[in-house]
Structure 1
């Protein structure tokens, strides 16, 4: 696919995710407030160390020991409740975020020009909708939650430590820059490894999709072992990238553990000398020590979340890439049924820049209400030519006119509403027979759907299906014969009742009996319509 325009200096991953998460700001705000409450209760634990040690034990005010357990239980209970509701709200925001993002991606893909979609494989597009968005789910649900909750906890504990003894706390905090710099570098490496891993899993998804679509060919050419071997190689490649991500994540955790030991050692050494000299009380010393040691546990989680956030940014880039693609565009005019007809005026077309032209200087007039046949061998460009009429593609040069107006000046919806297509490659959806026919006109009544099926000579075999019109066809309708699938496609076109009809090798793969039935249905469908028939031979 062609790339969307992406600036050289992109906003940080935090800003980009918050931009996408704007619809959930209220949930995020309540989560932030609950994080603040939970962090205050965490800080109160370190704060209580001094009064407990100095006033209860050293000054022997043992009467307070009766209420101390209740205070501790209250602090941890309230902190736990705050953290619980904060996690629930963040999880709710994360699930909605991912669902809405998948909806936007699916909507975007359906509105992309066919030229762009054709340049990408279905497996890779599925990977972006499913795998990449799944990789983003922990961002709000876990990583942002950790950064909010543990970040505020660190700030609270630092404030307690600085208040108790400024120089002692400052000494311990000298290890913080090493943690921040190390986490950033490891996060960048994790992001690069994750991006390569996402590309690898997209290839895995593509191979599974491709193998299922071509399963008959795989079996008849005995290629199971070859494909299994190639699939194994792709999985091993994905595994290697995941191990790299794990190495960088756990490296960040190891860095925090090392700095925790160093920070604690500094507090013990310097703080112990201050207590011996009488510069601070044991309560001050242990209050600062408790705060510092409590800091490093959330700091470890923050470092891990920060690395994971950069890891997830690789998936975010792939999602943003799809969202940045330009959508199909039409003009301001409403298209109506042809009165004069269609005209191809010096039309040239090629699929990509630099390739040879598939169509060269095509001049053709298709009168309204008439049948025009395009006959020629495979690869002559017949299907390409008719795909320009509904603007699946636009001419590279020249123009196509409907009643004297360039097709690009019409609204896409109004133009395509005029066109019905019956091709050799019938697409039936994993839905009921009724829903597949009604795809041509979702507003049609059941009686109209059945009438269209009768006109297409499909009603008789539909009635013989297990649930009649309510029978689920399965993937691509493979439980029907070629002639039956073709007649359902004709019924769908009849129901749409388009003034312009395109028949692209509609009977090329049918046996003689099925072809006769389909030909009768097509004759009914073609009456009074501007029809373009594509065939390999005149007899068709």
Structure 2
């Protein structure tokens, strides 16, 4: 999926609203920036006055006058110190707040994106965008308005003052400025492209590391450490190559600006000296020119130093917007209402579905009705659409044709939160969050009491093994629950659903990855979980669904067989073949 690219103008326009809550801080920051600028611009005028007085009106220059001038300048320097403290402290905190707001918005938006987005985007890239890419936004948000404001004020005021001193010399010096700006902007655009590639490669590198470390057991099992190292080295080298290009570009940028610095100094020295010989400028005027040129060059160098930070910030904003502009495909309809407590009738009416990214059609004109409290099982070959069908009910994907209803009302008629609140899902690949067993169970209903959590664990058949652990319910499960066995993790996930207590249950191959003993324990837990609830079970092990009220055989051609276990065996069709194959493998 190709990421969109943005113009500088659009990036500024989209970023500007994040300043709105902090506009008072920003205005005061710019006011302080103006005070610090005033201090710098006053010094050349003081030196011009003292120099001209010393050369042409020495008798009028007294110690008292000098002390008065120094006192004024000292007062300005005190003001400068206070203003600088505010800019460095409060100004940076404002930038950090904006970064925090952007990360919050990105995180919230990510939770609204559909499975299709995550199917096509590496988690390492996403992590990079909401962490590393936004780090530079703090500096950018603070320094961008500040640096441009200071530079603008200095250029305008210096130009006005110098024009009053000598028009021709001023025009000669400022003739260099637009040329310098044009060259720097050209190099800046090149830097933006390099930093964009650098950020993208950081995301690729993060994704490579994450993939390798999460799969480290597989890597070790196949002794492919060297292969993973070689793949990492390739990505790492590409990252180095991009950074090398960025430093070469920065070197060209700095060398070019130094050349323009020299041109401005040479212009002042050459033409200023000639003008002084001809009597067109006084000695103090030339001193003022040199000091103002020094101030301008210092300002330009600050902008140059900020240029890298500026481009990094703009790249971070761009990659942030690429997240924020990702389409929310699954959302509440305008007239969506809360579901309440459904009876549990689920109906598919001429439902068709194809994945939006590759347009691979899974099924067409599917019709199915599951009655309240009925236990329905889905079997069939891999790729037949069993899991996809179940994912359509909680709207992890939206149908491309037809309609799904619960209790006779379209699922799109209900808010996503209330719809999913009434559906409990137990999957084969259990995901436990890093934390304690208690944390993972209470996730099913965060307001539950500890007693309710323990009761849910008992009903799931998990309480006994939990209490045998050293820390009981406070046992740390490790990342993704690595410290627990497959059966233990599965029973914790079932306890989580028990605590949620939904009227509709989806069991997606919940026992297929377990050993016989664990399967037996988990099956008992699932049996208790499905009591009195509408239950849809996907299973490869046919032994786990023999007692289902109805079994559906789903293939690429849709539902081809339907009935209970005995009825399907008597038909000697696909289900019968699956059953005989399963017996032969025992």
Q: In the alignment, what sits opposite 1:293?
A: 294
What is the CA RMSD across the aligned residues, in angstroms?
A: 2.2
Instruction: Select which of 503, 506, 521 maps to 2:507.
Output: 503
Structure 1 residue 181, shift from structure 2 partner: 0.2
Structure 1 residue 282, shift from structure 2 partner: 0.8
Instruction: Provide the C-alpha distance between the structure 2 equivalents of 1:81 and 1:165, rounded to a whole number of angstroms.
Output: 34
Aligned pair count?
538
Q: Contact 2:428 / 2:510 at 8 angstroms: preserved in 1?
A: yes
Q: Measured at CA, do residues 76 and 158 of structure 1 come closer, stay the same or move farther in structure 2, by a change above 3 Å?
A: farther
Q: Contact 2:219 / 2:225 at 8 angstroms: preserved in 1?
A: yes
Moved more, 460-469 or 211-220: 460-469
Instruction: Provide the C-alpha distance between the structure 1 equivalents of 2:357 and 2:425, rounded to a whole number of angstroms.
Output: 28
Q: Contact 2:32 / 2:83 at 8 angstroms: preserved in 1?
A: yes
Q: Contact 1:39 / 1:156 at 8 angstroms: preserved in 2?
A: no
Q: Measured at CA, do residues 372 and 442 of structure 1 come closer, stay the same or move farther in structure 2, by a change above 3 Å?
A: same
Q: In the alignment, what sits opposite 2:349?
A: 345
Structure 1 residue 275, shift from structure 2 partner: 1.9
Instruction: Provide the C-alpha distance between the structure 2 equivalents of 1:87 and 1:251, rounded to a whole number of angstroms.
Output: 30
Matched, 1:536 2:540: yes
Instruction: Provide the C-alpha distance between the structure 2 equivalents of 1:181 and 1:197, rounded to a whole number of angstroms.
Output: 25
Instruction: Provide the C-alpha distance between the structure 2 equivalents of 1:65 and 1:54, rounded to a whole number of angstroms.
Output: 13
Q: Contact 1:440 / 1:496 at 8 angstroms: preserved in 2?
A: yes
Q: How does 1:75-474 map to 2 (within 5 A)?
A: 75-306=76-307, 308-327=309-328, 328-331=330-333, 332-339=336-343, 341-352=345-356, 355-474=359-478
Instruction: Provide the C-alpha distance between the structure 1 equivalents of 2:254 and 2:458, rounded to a whole number of angstroms.
Output: 69
Structure 1 residue 284, shift from structure 2 partner: 1.3
Structure 1 residue 204, shift from structure 2 partner: 0.6
Q: Measured at CA, do residues 240 and 394 of structure 1 come closer, stay the same or move farther in structure 2, by a change above 3 Å?
A: same
Moved more, 158-167 or 476-485: 158-167
Instruction: Provide the C-alpha distance between the structure 1 equivalents of 2:261 and 2:348, rounded to a whole number of angstroms.
Output: 75
Deviations 1:323-359 (A, max 9, x none): 1123231231332444361112222222235543222
Q: Contact 1:128 / 1:318 at 8 angstroms: preserved in 2?
A: yes
Q: Contact 1:123 / 1:203 at 8 angstroms: preserved in 2?
A: yes
Deviations 1:163-208 (A, max 9, x none): 3323222211110011110111011111111111111111111111
Q: Contact 1:158 / 1:292 at 8 angstroms: preserved in 2?
A: no
Unaligned 5+ runs, structure 2? 545-586
Q: In the alignment, what sits opposite 1:40?
A: 38
Q: Measured at CA, do residues 157 and 252 of structure 1 come closer, stay the same or move farther in structure 2, by a change above 3 Å?
A: farther
Q: Contact 1:27 / 1:93 at 8 angstroms: preserved in 2?
A: yes
Structure 1 residue 361, shift from structure 2 partner: 3.3
Deviations 1:469-525 (A, max 9, x none): 222222111111111111111110000000000111111122222222212211211
Matched, 1:478 2:482: yes
Instruction: Provide the C-alpha distance between the structure 2 equivalents of 1:521 and 1:297, rounded to a whole number of angstroms.
Output: 73
Moved more, 147-156 or 527-536: 147-156
Q: Measured at CA, do residues 413 and 14 of structure 1 come closer, stay the same or move farther in structure 2, by a change above 3 Å?
A: closer
Instruction: Provide the C-alpha distance between the structure 1 equivalents of 2:13 and 2:351, rounded to a whole number of angstroms.
Output: 46
Q: How does 1:20-39 map to 2 (within 5 A)?
A: 20-39=18-37
Moved more, 289-298 or 133-142: 133-142
Moved more, 192-201 or 115-124: 115-124
Q: How does 1:43-82 map to 2 (within 5 A)?
A: 43-56=41-54, 58-60=56-58, 61=61, 63=63, 64-65=65-66, 73-82=74-83
SS in 2 for 1:21: helix
Deviations 1:428-487 (A, max 9, x none): 101222121111111111111111111112112222333322222221111111111111
Instruction: Provide the C-alpha distance between the structure 2 equivalents of 1:9 and 1:50, rounded to a whole number of angstroms.
Output: 45
Q: Measured at CA, do residues 177 and 30 of structure 1 come closer, stay the same or move farther in structure 2, by a change above 3 Å?
A: same
Q: In the alignment, what sits opposite 2:579?
A: none
Unaligned 5+ runs, structure 1? none
Instruction: Provide the C-alpha distance between the structure 1 equivalents of 2:364 and 2:294, rounded to a whole number of angstroms.
Output: 76
User: TM-score of the superposition, structure 2-length normalised?
Assistant: 0.87
Deviations 1:198-255 (A, max 9, x none): 1111111111111122111111112211221221221221222223333333433322
SS in 1 for 2:387: helix
Q: Measured at CA, do residues 86 and 156 of structure 1 come closer, stay the same or move farther in structure 2, by a change above 3 Å?
A: farther
Moved more, 54-63 or 126-135: 54-63
Moved more, 59-68 or 34-43: 59-68
Q: In the alignment, what sits opposite 1:494?
A: 498
Structure 1 residue 72, shift from structure 2 partner: 5.0
SS in 1 for 2:370: strand
Q: Contact 1:449 / 1:495 at 8 angstroms: preserved in 2?
A: yes
Q: Measured at CA, do residues 312 and 245 of structure 1 come closer, stay the same or move farther in structure 2, by a change above 3 Å?
A: farther
